[in-house]
Amino acid sequence: MAHCGSGEVLIVGGVGCNLRLQEMMGVMCKERNAKLFATDERFCIDNGAMIAQAGWEMFRSGQVTELEDSWITQRYRTDEVEVTWRD
């Protein structure tokens, strides 16, 4: 919220199952008059499908990365990703 000036937080993926995280995020949102959205267990799974969707959106918009130009960064911050496939 602080990095992108948002008034909303959505907790998804494997960490979404963490009830303590949900509680802490709830306190933070309450202090900032923000909204918290936490999904139920059906959506608290690995982000593989979300990563695949992002790849599909990139491909559809014409953004293609050659295999030799690609790499893996496990701790990549989502707020540092350049989104080029939407306005």
pLDDT tens digits for 9-59? 988 877 888 889 999 999 999 999 999 998 877 777 767 777 788 888 889
CA distance 59 to 23: 37
CA distance 14 to 27: 20
DSSP conformation letters of 50-73: HHHHHHHHHHHTT----GGG----
What pLDDT, on the 0 to 100 scale, is given for residue 82? 79
- Percent of the chain as helix, strand, coil, to the nearest 5: 45, 10, 45
What pLDDT, on the 0 to 100 scale, is given for residue 39? 80
Instruction: Indicate the helix (H) or strand (E) that contains 80.
Output: none
Predicted TM-score (pTM) of the model is 0.53
